[in-house]
A = this chain, B = another copy of it.
Amino acid sequence: MTKDDSFDLAQFTPYLLNMASEATSLAFQKHYKDTYGMLRTEWRVLFHLGRYGQLAARDICDRAQLHKTKVSRAVAALRAKGFVAREDVAEDRRSSTLSLTKRGQQVYRDLSERAQSFDAKLMTRFSTDDRAKLQAMLKELIGQTHG
């Protein structure tokens, strides 16, 4: 069945990464999608605000490696849901400071707990060493490619 070629798709790292990413992301998706009707980008923006506190949209773009249009739309959606508040910043009237509302903080706490146990469960099958190794390698790959 398999043609005898040297290249094997199943060993191509970007392919494996993509499969693993899709599989795990899809599995976790139900937590933020079903419960809160959030999209992947929205969830990610929320997490950034929850984790790092107040940020301008720009900061989120940088940190999360997301395009500004995606962030803009995600913020609009999160504001519409009442999870995020926007406040003008005095020094620069183009920009504004984003932060979680009370409700947004609740949601963040709920989802970060779920994320934690999801991750823990996902990683149970690996040794502590292996987990660290995987993380380190993934971070390498992330850093490497977009400099």
Binding site for B on A (CB under 8 A): 1-3, 5-28, 44, 47-48, 50-53, 65, 112-113, 115-116, 118-119, 122-123, 125-126, 130, 133-135, 137-142, 144-146
Contact = CB atoms under 8 A, between A and B. Distances in A.
Given A19-B65, A19-B138, A141-B24, A51 B5 contact: yes
Give 8 closest A-B pairs by Cβ, nearest first.
Answer: A23-B145, A21-B21, A7-B112, A14-B24, A17-B21, A16-B138, A20-B141, A18-B21
B1 A52 contact: yes
Contacts of A27: 14, 145
A139 B121 CA distance: 16
B1 A28 contact: no
Contact of A13 (B19, B47, B134, B141): B134
Contacts of A134: 13, 133-134, 137
A53 B7 CA distance: 13
Contacts of A8: 51
Contacts of A119: 11-14
Interface hub of A2, A6, A27, A142 (most chain B Cβ within 10 A): A142
B13 A53 contact: no
Nearest to A115: B12
A9 B130 contact: no
A118 B125 CA distance: 30
